[in-house]
Chain A
């Protein structure tokens, strides 16, 4: 409960700044529309207004300020517009409807989870290889690092196209991109975790004449658990981002990414913003679930959570 208050404070501050920013951001649009429908606006030509800054325009036309919060196609939607849109599209539509955010959420979530599973498995396997084989340490690690320096935005369409040409459509191509982003934090975290036992602990096992497999299962793997969870939290959010990025440039018809793109292309920013926030909430929920599993696991293992 103690952690709730600081979080709420930050949210309140963000909402406050956001609410203030809506006025100057939308002022020009609002003034143009108001004039067209016969209201008096100073200055009275669009060109003169263009040269006036949004704040000044708001001060000169205080009667227009409330209208900046209700525009249909604002530059910056107000918080309540986004909230209403989200409520409508999450609770107000059947979840099978193409206009339901829950529907689009699931379209994005499925490849996210599959990609996360693939990425985690791949990451753990690579980490084990890297820790136990010098050759893999020297050869795989640099490539893993290089893989993350390639802009995913450039790579994603290529992967989709190549897999599409190979006849693979649907969930899998998006999962591949999600896995591409999520395996890396798992590799880095697990390599560190599997190497975390100190000399003394390894020497102790040597005095028992234990073999490599025994020291892996009894010492290295349990030691790496806290590192694994830290990586999983980064990995799952990277996975979600990967899936959304995969939806953006490829003309996907559904999913958070498609929703954001549609909102942009058809001048419906409220739609984009609602999808954006839904994606953020989904990521927060996923990270939250992993945190809960982490707490449970570490507690069961007798370790006090850090």
Chain B
């Protein structure tokens, strides 16, 4: 199964089989945002509770493919307990890692891990991600070799970003 071991790394399968932070939070005070991947039916629901400047709790619901659900699980573990600005930083870094494919000159197959002399800042994902949630999140880097699945991996992150937007806008929790 050429290439599949890059996509379905053990840690991804682990998060898929035993997703972290599954459940719901009471809304309000938490915020609830749904994200859909219209192409394939992946669904991620993010429950977010922000206390002051801290992501005090996050829960994940929904169903979908292993990439979307494991990414959501890893995301939840990575942002829980962090400050809002750290969470925003993680979203940016993760999405940058997912877009390495588009930015590298050669396209798919350019080096085994997207190394690209043209954009040294993005070539090493371990430098993008702060903190110790990193190790796990880097496992999703293999997704960039399967561009159709990038949307699966970023679904929960986009949903989280939307939830953070709602919190900051003071939008009433729905």
- Asked if A and B bind, the verdict is no
Which B residues lie at the A interface, using CB under 8 A?
none
Which A residues lie at the B interface, using CB under 8 A?
none
